[in-house]
Amino acid sequence: MAFKATLMSALLLAMLALGTSEAKADPVTFSTSGTFTCGGCSGSGTNSVTFLGGMGNALMITFTGLGSTALNTPTGSSFGNFQTFVSGTGAVASGTFTLTITQTVPIAGSDSFSATFSGTFSASNSGTGVVNFTVTSVTIGGITYAITNNPLNLVPPASNNGITTVQGQITAEPVPEPTSMLLLGTGLLGAAGAVRKRFKSR
């Protein structure tokens, strides 16, 4: 009977430790950048591309990433902005886009979101555009970055100066706290000791 009571107490301590093992908010520092790839455009391989429609007509799409940004997780954050510009009667755009997250804290590393983009805007600021992310979540050193507004509808130049923001959520994987790990270790040692004592008494 005493053996059962000791074992139950040890298991209870272990469960309590596991139940309180999540650490508090973690600091993270990161930056973002973007690259367009397209055929029939100028600027492919950079953060700003221009599509020509002939006779001085053009559509430009630019991505502006974040500089070094320090936050505490979990938190929402912008990952950068798209901006559209039109000259003449505009043009048609299409291609692929890569959004890269570069993290320096807590662990250095980088990963990317892949997307396709397309759109048509005119000088009258009508038309539509969309960026569709095919990868919406990446994890770097225990920190997960997720895009929350996908697909992303690009606005024309007359709306918000043509700026569309990529919104995201940043979370950290749970990490056991030292105190909780000590409780867990004590509980497991207690259980092992009780089992050993039980076998010795036989």
Give dist(CA 138, CA 154) in Å, integer: 23
| Residue keyed to tokens 């909780």 | 180
Q: Do 36 and 49 meet the contact criterion of CB atoms below 8 Å apart?
A: yes
Taking the domains of the chain in order of start, what are their residue ranges?
Answer: 2-21+177-200, 27-172
Task: Identify the helix (H) or strand (E) that includes residue 49.
Answer: strand 48-54
Q: The pTM is what?
A: 0.76
pLDDT at position 195 is: 44
- Tokens of residue 111, six digits: 């990963």
Q: Do 51 and 40 meet the contact criterion of CB atoms below 8 Å apart?
A: yes
Report the sign of the C-alpha dihedral through residues 37, 42, 48, 54, in that order: negative
- Reading the chain (202 residues) residue by residue, the pLDDT tens digits are 454 444 445 444 444 444 444 446 899 999 999 999 999 999 999 999 999 988 889 999 999 999 999 999 999 999 999 999 999 889 999 999 999 999 999 999 999 999 999 998 876 677 889 999 999 999 999 999 999 999 999 998 888 999 999 999 999 998 555 544 444 455 545 544 554 555 455 5
Residue 27 CA: distances (Å) to CA of 76, 89, 134, 146, 185: 13, 47, 28, 17, 27
